[in-house]
Every structure is written in structure tokens, then in C-alpha cells.
A and B are shown apart, each in its own frame.
Chain A
Amino acid sequence: MSGSREAVLGKIKQSLSTDASDQERRKAVQARISDHARNLTPKRTADLDQARLIDLLETKMKAVDCTVQRLASMDEIPAAVADYLKGQNLPATIRQAPHSSLANLPWSKNAPMIEVSQGRSYGDDLNSLTACHAAVAETGTLMLESGAEGPTTLNFLPDNHIVVVRESQVTGTYEDGWDRLREKRGGTDMPRALNMITGPSRTGDIEQTIFLGAHGPRSLHVLIVKD
């Protein structure tokens, strides 16, 4: 159904007063869309080496109420998750994303008490564990990709969301994150959902006082792991 497509487009063309030819305008639009030219990006991340970027990421994440833990290897994840859940007085269960990078975690060896299941959430999981596409140091922002390995429901339905960030995934700006996505997926192919997540869910709708855990996760715990 195209509805009023021609009428609306016709009205726009008629209203726009332009001296440029149709061909020039088309060329300008095509170039802009395919060039992915960056506009100004903040200096705060420009000259940082990877170690400093990771420090900035941690600072920015803590500023938006995330908790952050650094790990030396992926094998340390199960014990770290177990400690975190225990420390927060949470049930020893985890719903894990079916992500290839998380496939071989030594749960039974290092955290046998945790009940681990895999797949999307239907609303009855308290804790989730997911991977991410990138983590942007500029504002402490995670980028999560949907797909077979990344159910979107794990990012929003559970009360507590734990995200694994590998050090090589830490970037300076959002633009770095987009470039990596284009490289990974080829061209302008986007996942169905790309979630940029900066801290846990919050609301200021009652007298502008901020409360965490409005509808999404009440807590966001980030594990930064050496590659």
C-alpha cells in the first residue's frame, strides 16, 4: 500500500525552492549516503591508546550506574558471575545468549552451583549474560547486535543484565562502532536491532527524581575481559 506517496512527494518537490538540477541533487544525496563521512568527533578519545580508552570506558560506565569488573581471561567469567550474583543476593541462575564467544565457558568446573540455560527470554529470567558488538568509551555505551547469537529480549526483560566486553571491542567513538559493524556485516546491512545501552533502565517521570529499573534491567554489570 503506497497511500499518498505521489501526492506527498509531489508536494515536497513543489515546496522546495532549489536552483540545482535534478541530476546534481541526486548525485549529492548518493555521495552523502555512500561516503559515510564523519562529522566532528569529540577530542576526549582522539589521542588515547587502548589501555587509556578502556580506563575511560570504565569511568564513563560507572558514572551511569554500571558496575564494572576486569578479568584476565574468558575462563574467569563463570566464577565472576557466581560472585556477582552471590554479592547481590540473587538466585544462582543465568540465561545466556547463544553466542559463539560464550560457548565454551567452564561453568561446570568453575561455578557448578549456577543453573545455566541458553536462548531468548520469555520474561521469567532474573539474570542474563550476553556478548556485545562494541563498547564506546566516549560515553560508556555498549552496542549490542540482534541475531541468532544475540536475542534482544535478553537485553530488556531480565532484572540483571551482565555483558561481556573483550578489550579489543573497546572503541573511542560511535563512528568507530559503525565502521566495525560495516566491516563485519558488509556494507549497509544492519542487524534487525542494534541496541546502544548506556547504564541500566531509569526514569525521572515522578518529580524528576531518578530511579533505576523502570522497565528494563535494574542493574547492568560489565565484565571487561583481556583478549
Chain B
Amino acid sequence: METQSREFKSNSVDALANEPLQTAMGKMKKGFTEKRRKAVAGLEEFEELRDQARDIKNHTLDHLDLYLEAYEAKVKENGGHVHWCANGEEARQTILKICRDLDAKTVTKGKSMITEEIELNDFLDKQGIEPVETDLGEYIIQLRGEKPSHIIAPAVHLNQDQVEEDFRRVHTHLPEDRNLIEPRSLVNEARQVLRQRYIDADVGITGANFLIAETGSSVIVTNEGNGDLTQTLPKAHIVVASLEKVVPTLEDASTILRVLARSATGQEFSSYTTFSTGPRRSDDPDGPGEYHVVLLDNGRSSMLGTEFQEMLRCIRCGACMNHCPVYHAVGGHAYGSTYVGPMGVVLTPALAGIEETGVLPNASTFCGRCEAVCPMRIPLPKMMRHWREKEFEKHLSPASSRYGIGFWAFFAKRPSLYRWFVRVNLAMLKLWGKGDNVRFFPFKDGWTKYRDLPVPEGKSFQQLWKERQKGDRN
């Protein structure tokens, strides 16, 4: 997996100065959090369901080989095919072969992060097969030649006027003087343009929210209905899914579904949750003639049995990024990776290697909101810390931070010197800030450019602690 994550710092500086982006992010940070809060308040068992959802995935991961074998057997029994792929290249070649065998010219696509991970669209394009994204957000960013900036709301970084501009640029067969002021008319235009593409497509590709070992079904969860049109109408349906999507039974999927939509969009249930099992049956009036599952590893099996195994519980709801102050400030593109926000900064180094993604695990204030809202109770901050340790051990962190830590360690190992240094610095900060706020600090203008540092009020923590201990004894 390729990333541009090394540019996170400079991307962030650009993002903070990008006015349309800041307008869009201002709207998103309120909407998602408020909707989730209401949905969670409406289900008294929500916290217990989170525990159970976590336990289901833990049990499945501990028996992953066996559940995948059981799942595969059921898919075959229902007339489907399972293609095991170790990496992105193998998955792309497998998909290409299925398309070539059907002489496919166009492929419709339901929203799928895993096909972003293996950069399928670029690849198909180069092979002369046209990929058509059908989710409204994905369609918009495909027109713009961009990547998704959010795992469930790919165009969340854009404003309505930008979408209007793109539609006018691309839909040149429509009258120039048409009215696109209302967002409603943009939704209608996309519906109209894409309708024929569904019907004409040779192959439909979707991801999967779950694979069910009990029945051999793949499950997609959507609101628009585009995923269903994508997988129902063409000659073949290809499901691209990673190993950890499997769950044992329909009951287990139901439990996780109860926390998924509530955490993601704040809905009790998404409009469409579809369980697909094999190709069209002999007496079926519709449905795809072929059903293929591309089962992708791409680094996940190496996460099992490590401190990052828990990340494989992730169900891609997006709650962590919806509640992340860093994501709110810079948006998804700054991360330079397929997966963004807190789940992205943990998963990306695992898939692409910490050498490629260096600074990414530092894109956090450790405020802990991501872990607090994660429906699968993934300890995201703890895992970011693990990555930071690895980054330090491998001498990947920037020289300034390494020297900084060395400088701090020198004093920390000498307590009396440390206390003296802190006292002197407190006094100097007060003088420098004129008793109010520090607005500029030499060599630290990256910090003070965006915010003021309040001058310390009185004593250091150590002094206060000492006094308190004394007070307790008296």
C-alpha cells in the first residue's frame, strides 16, 4: 500500500489555511457527534452491546483460520467462488481475470474502502476497463480525481458549490442553463446520470461489511441503494473483502449491526442491509450470474498475535474520526493514506510499514475520544503509543524530537537540577508573557502561530504535590 503520510505535517499546514475545507469541516464536526449521541441515548443496552460486539470479534479472530474455512465451504456450496489473495497485486490480477473472461467494458462499484486500499480504479482504467463509482460521495470525488477524505463520507471535505462546479464541468450533455442551486437537484442529477450505467455495466464490485461463516453470505450496509443496484444488475458480482470481516452467525452479525449504524451516522439502522449468498438460482428472475469473493490478506495475518491484533475488530464506522480534534482540524486528505483519522493512524503503519508512515501515529492529542466512542472498544491511543515506541526504536522520529527527548531525559534523571530548571523557566515565561499569554516563542512559532500559551499560574505540579502531601500528614 502506497502512502504520502510522510507529508502529514506540511499537508496539515496547507489544510489549516484552506478556507473551503475549513468551512466543510466546521459543519461535519457538529453533525456526526450530535447524531451519534442521540442514537446511543435511545438504546439502553448500547454499552453492553459494545462489550458483546468486542467479544464476538475476539472469539472470531482467535479462530480465524477455521471460520474462514467454514465460510469458504458455504460459498462454494451455494455456487460462488472464493479467491484467496495474499496482497493487492494478486487481488487486482484476480479481478482483472474475472472481468476479462466476461469481456467486461464497464464495472460499477459500490462504496468500498478495500478497493481504495488496492487502488483498483487506476488499475482497471489502465487495463481499458472503466470503473464507475455509484455512491454519491464516491462519484463526486471520482469526478475530481481525488481520494476519499472519510471512510463513510468520502466527500465530506467539499461544499455544495464545489459539487455544482464539477457536475457542470462533466455532465456536458445536460442543458447549460439548468438550475443546480438546491442540493436536491444535485442528488437528482447524479441519480439520472448513473441509472443507465447500472443497467449497462458488465460487472458490479462491492466491498463487504461482514462475511457470515454460517451461511456463506456477504453483507453490505448502505443508505443510497447504489450497492444493491451494483450487485444485482450485472452479469457478475465481485465482493472484495479482507480476512477479518468474517463473523460466525447471523445472530452475531445482528449484534454488531446494532452498534454499527448508531456509531456511524446516528441512524438506528441503515436504509439497506443486504445479505448476498451465491449467484442467481435456477428459478430466480434476477441477480448476477456469477458470484466471486476476493478474500484479501494484505498484511492483516501478520497483525494477529501482536499488540495490533485488536485493530482487526474495526468495523469501519468512522466514529473515531468523527470525534477526533486532529481530524476536525485538518480533514482526511492531510493523512496521505487510504485510512484516515485515529483508525487510520493505527492501521496504516501495520499495512504499509512504520518506515513509510513515520509521523502518522503522532497525529493525535491523546484526548481519548476515539476509544471512548469506538463501538468495538479498540484501544486506539494505546496502539498509537506502541507505534511511537517503534518509531523511536527504529530511529525514525525527527532529529528535533529525538534531541528534545534526550534533553528532557538529562534533566529528568537529575531531580534537583530538574526542579531548579522548572522554577527558572516558570519565572521566565511569566516575564516573557507579561503575566498574561505567550504569543510568540523563539523556535516554537509553529505552536504559537495558531494559539496562545497561557503563562503558568504560580507553582509547578511537583511543588503543589509536595505541599499537599505535607498538608495530608498534618
Residues in A lying within 8 Å of B, measured CB to CB? 1-5, 7-9, 11-13, 15-18, 25-26, 28-29, 32-33, 36-40, 42-44, 60, 64, 98, 119-120, 122-123, 139-141, 146-148, 151-153, 155-157, 173-175, 178, 188, 190-209, 211, 213-217
Contacts and interface: CB of A to CB of B under 8 A. Distances in A.
Contacts of B191: 213-215
A129 to B, nearest CB: 15
B38 to A, nearest CB: 12
Contact of A3 (B68, B94, B155, B243): B94
A175 B94 contact: no
A123 B198 CA distance: 10
A89 B426 CA distance: 75
Contacts of B217: 190, 194
B127 interface: no
Interface stretch (B282-290, B371-379, B402-410): B282-290
Contact of A199 (B74, B271, B304): B271
The majority secondary structure among interface residues of chain A is loop
Contacts of B275: 190, 193-194, 196
24 contacts: A2-B84, A3-B90, A3-B94, A5-B84, A9-B69, A9-B84, A15-B304, A25-B66, A44-B43, A64-B267, A157-B229, A190-B275, A194-B275, A194-B277, A195-B273, A196-B269, A196-B273, A196-B274, A201-B225, A203-B187, A205-B135, A214-B136, A215-B226, A215-B229
Given A33-B214, A37-B251, A156-B229, A123 B195 contact: yes
Given A43-B44, A43-B45, A200-B271, A207 B183 contact: yes
The 5 closest A-B CB pairs, nearest first, are: A216-B225, A214-B224, A205-B137, A15-B304, A11-B301
B183 A1 contact: no
B281 interface: yes
B277 A216 contact: no
A12 B68 contact: yes
| Interface size classification for chain B | 35 or more
Contacts of B135: 205
Contact of A25 (B63, B243, B272): B63
A118 to B, nearest CB: 10
Contacts, number: 270
B225 A215 contact: yes
Q: B163, B187, B304 — which one has the most chain A CB atoms within 10 A of its CB?
A: B187
A214 B229 contact: no
B49 interface: yes
B183 A206 contact: yes
Nearest to B275: A194
B134 A204 contact: no
A165 to B, nearest CB: 16
Contact of B187 (A139, A141, A213, A217): A213
Contacts of A9: 65, 68-69, 84
A203 B223 CA distance: 6
A192 B86 contact: no
Given A4-B85, A193-B274, A201-B271, A175 B254 contact: yes
A47 B155 CA distance: 43
Given A188-B215, A190-B275, A196-B269, A205 B86 contact: no
